[in-house]
């Protein structure tokens, strides 16, 4: 460490081992790390300087916005971490067109809190501590996904630093290839600095917290899938499935965008058609209550885990049984299902690097210690064979196979070509494809 040359940045931008700030900056949510140096740039020029220095060291480079990425790639051991947390602006550029500028280092709780007073929201993720940069370059499945679509569907421009240090603005008219890639396939393409995103008018949302009995054969899941396929697109749901005594239970959070009380009651009633309701609570809340400031925390590697996922169409009997097999596996994986469709599927498959525009369900499965990756793969094996693609943000083990599932066919080939063009030396550590 004594031989490490430090970049030409202000002293408070440099964090070395032994610095009181180092403990809070060294790790991610799922992994513990010991980088040689953490850089805290405050603006675009400092990011470029930080990247130039990091390249000169020959060490591994990680870029971090929030640190919630499941793969843990936003830190490393013995390398350089460029932490974007100081680039956390949230600015309403044009209230009439609902255009908002959001720094890549902001977290979604901060975004929701800043936009709520002016009646706006961006549907993005389901936890307030998630960073803007990682989610907004990978897709963005949020609490309003069926009414709003993905976060990337509303990105109108993105400012980046390329691997060679160039500052570039990408939109539909300037660097359109880069603009396409950064909306769904941005990992390893460039360092995102800020996004211009079209928000949505939003007052209160209706929230139903429902516990439904789930049968071993999967009939409840098929009914849920059918109900959501026919539901108004203002409805979005996410559920966790787990053993419940001798049976199983689904803990569901259902959200109605800009709801009134009558629509919220209708949402609650719909679950009577899904299965036996064991508990139910209905409420009207402001959108920030779904991604609250209480979620904000330091990442210390506190949640080691292995995660993978798959996209499905309508859940038929076979798919539903296979998902219940996951829940019943001896490794005790955690299975979460999210409803898709609606506005997500309004977008053409080639409009962004997120190409999955016909699926209806996202299934995410996670194992925790002492279960490891092999337990996860064993539990997921049959369901994986039935899945129709995957979502890059919910994969903890990137690589060629994961890349091909998330970016199939021509989408994957185009991303490979663009990574070779924008980062030919693989400085930013894109997926090894």
CA-CA distances (angstroms) from residue 363 to 59, 159, 188, 227, 315?
36, 32, 25, 17, 11
Task: State residue 275's pLDDT score.
Answer: 94
Model confidence pLDDT, tens digit, residues 294-346: 999 999 999 999 999 999 999 999 999 999 999 999 999 999 999 999 999 99
Q: Structural domain boundaries of the chain?
A: 11-83, 90-201
| Residue-level length of the chain | 433
Task: State residue 170's pLDDT score.
Answer: 98
Task: State residue 433's pLDDT score.
Answer: 45
CA dihedral for 80, 300, 22, 87, sign (positive or negative): positive
Residue 105 neighbours by CB under 8 Å, 6+ apart: 65, 66, 83, 84, 85, 86, 87, 88, 131, 132, 133
Name the DSSP class of 287: G
CATH architecture under which domain 11-83 falls: 2-Layer Sandwich (3.30)
Model confidence pLDDT, tens digit, residues 95-122: 999 999 999 999 999 999 999 999 999 9
pTM of the model: 0.95
Look at 286-300, 324-338, 419-433 and tell me which has the smallest mean pLDDT. 419-433
CATH architecture under which domain 90-201 falls: 2-Layer Sandwich (3.30)
């Amino acid at each position: 460490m004594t031989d490490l040359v430090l970049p030409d940045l202000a002293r408070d931008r440099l964090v070395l081992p032994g610095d009181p700030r180092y403990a809070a900056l060294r790790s991610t949510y799922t992994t513990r790390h010991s980088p040689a140096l953490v850089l805290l740039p405050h603006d675009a020029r400092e990011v470029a300087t930080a990247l130039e220095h990091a390249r000169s060291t020959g060490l591994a480079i990680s870029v971090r916005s929030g640190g919630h990425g499941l793969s843990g790639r936003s830190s490393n051991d013995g390398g350089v971490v460029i932490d974007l947390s100081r680039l956390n602006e949230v600015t309403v550029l044009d209230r009439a067109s609902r255009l908002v500028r959001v720094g890549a280092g902001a977290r979604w709780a901060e975004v929701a809190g800043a936009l709520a007073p002016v009646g706006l929201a961006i549907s993005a993720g389901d936890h307030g501590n998630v960073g803007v940069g990682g989610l907004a370059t990978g897709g963005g499945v949020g609490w309003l996904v069926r009414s709003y679509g993905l976060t990337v569907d509303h990105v109108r421009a993105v400012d980046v630093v390329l691997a060679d240090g160039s500052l570039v603005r990408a939109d539909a008219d300037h660097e359109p290839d880069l603009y396409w890639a950064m909306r769904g396939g941005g990992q390893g393409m460039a360092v995102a600095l800020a996004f211009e995103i079209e928000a949505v008018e939003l007052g209160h949302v209706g929230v139903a917290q429902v516990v439904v009995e789930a049968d071993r054969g999967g009939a409840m899941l098929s009914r849920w899938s059918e109900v959501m396929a026919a539901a108004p697109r203002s409805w979005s749901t996410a559920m966790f499935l787990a053993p419940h005594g001798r049976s199983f239970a689904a803990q569901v959070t259902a959200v109605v965008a800009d709801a009134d009380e009558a629509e919220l009651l209708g949402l609650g009633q719909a679950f009577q058609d899904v299965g036996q309701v064991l508990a139910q609570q209905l409420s009207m809340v402001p959108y920030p209550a779904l991604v609250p400031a209480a979620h904000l925390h330091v990442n210390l590697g506190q949640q080691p885990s292995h995660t993978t996922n798959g996209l499905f169409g309508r859940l038929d009997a076979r798919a539903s049984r296979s998902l219940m097999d996951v829940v019943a596996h001896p490794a005790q994986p955690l299975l979460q299902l999210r409803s898709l469709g609606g506005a997500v599927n309004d977008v053409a498959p080639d409009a962004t690097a997120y190409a999955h525009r016909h699926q209806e369900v996202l299934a995410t499965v996670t194992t925790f210690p002492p279960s490891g990756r092999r337990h996860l793969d064993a539990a997921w094996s049959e369901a994986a064979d039935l899945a129709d693609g995957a979502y890059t943000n919910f994969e903890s083990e990137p690589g060629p196979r994961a890349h091909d599932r998330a970016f199939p066919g021509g989408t994957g080939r185009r991303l490979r070509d663009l990574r070779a063009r924008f980062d030919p030396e693989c400085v930013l550590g894109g997926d090894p494809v």
